[in-house]
Amino acid sequence: MGGKIESGKIFGHLAVLGAYTIFGFNIIICKELTNSGLVGSLGLFCFRSVGACLLFWLISLFLPREKVPFKDLCGIFAASMLGFLLTQLAYLESSKYTTPLDTSIITSTTPIFTMFVAAIALKEPITLKKAGGVAMSFAGVILLVLNTIGVHSGGVSETKPIGILLMIGNCVFFASYLGIFRPLIQRYHVVTFMKWIFLFSTVVAVPLDFKELTHLPFAEMSPSYWLQLGYIIVFATFIAYFLLPIGQKQLRPTVVSLYTYVQPLIGMVTAIILGMDRLTWQKIVAAVLVFTGVILVNKSRAKVES
């Protein structure tokens, strides 16, 4: 039994690592698509939501049907709004008002919020080891961000208060999703859960953006644009959101949230490979701090002992 649990956790870690690796590249691609001005933030979200919805419902036709009671559908609707629609829209909108440096620092608080949400919603204890692990990973990612060449360049030159509020909202929304809905996720197959998640987000988002969607400049969209759009639909939405619940079933919310720190690491590695940055001892220390923190949180006490 112990071996089965351990193998399940390893698979969970690999699934979450895969999801956040995809998300890491997605940040770069989303920025490119948003800056093109061809499709707005909500329109981009609609493409992702509709595409993933169709793919998950198509796959569900080949799997045993799971009946989801109305009470759980209400819970999945709330999860859809918190974990996808509000999280994504807050992030995309905030990028218009925050510098890359401030964005990186603020989003690094997600595991901190998740730790507190999980303590309230799931009675997960905030142990010294868990708090220390979160603090260590947080310190590592801040060290990485502050020592990344060109972090001040490109994008917005000055952060506005509305940008800070939207980015904090992004962190709180996603932390709430990770901390509250794990029991619900564990009750259903990943495809069943996600097909409803994206159906609900599609039903809400498409009417809100109907005017833009009916006047999209398709003739101006290059093959490169369509390839990037395909990446965010197939990889950054369908595959990543297939992998993430697998990890959520096996790992505690705070552990899952710490993998958000993989994203700046992906950015660092990509920049080094492309010759836009160089490897320094500070970046090596930062990476060690991040992954040591993940290990500490993973080994911390899981439940309050009665």
Confidence of residue 2 (pLDDT cuts 50, 70, 90): low
For 219-256, how does the pLDDT look when each residue is reduced to its tens digit (9 = 90+)? 999 999 999 999 999 999 999 999 999 999 999 999 99
Spatial contact of 122 and 253, defined as CB atoms under 8 Å apart: yes
pLDDT at site 199 = 98
The Cα 140–Cα 214 span in angstroms is 45
Chain centre distance of CA 65:
28
Confidence of residue 121 (pLDDT cuts 50, 70, 90): very high
For 239, the token pair is 């595959």
Chain centre distance of CA 261:
10
Among residues 138, 89, 85, the alpha carbon closest in space to that of 110 is found at 138
The Cα 46–Cα 155 span in angstroms is 23
pLDDT at site 92 = 80
Mean pLDDT, to the nearest integer, of 158-186?
92
pLDDT at site 278 = 79
- In order of 9, 88, 109, 283, the CA distances from 288 in angstroms are 21, 29, 18, 9
Residue 306 pLDDT exceeds 60: no
Confidence of residue 298 (pLDDT cuts 50, 70, 90): confident
pLDDT at site 242 = 96
Residue 198 pLDDT exceeds 80: yes
Residue 305 pLDDT exceeds 50: no
Among residues 25, 98, 22, 65, the alpha carbon closest in space to that of 268 is found at 25
For 258-277, how does the pLDDT look when each residue is reduced to its tens digit (9 = 90+)? 999 888 888 777 777 877 66
pLDDT at site 300 = 84
Neighbours of 46 (CB within 10 A): 22
For 144-159, how does the pLDDT look when each residue is reduced to its tens digit (9 = 90+)? 888 765 554 556 667 7
Mean pLDDT, to the nearest integer, of 284-302?
87
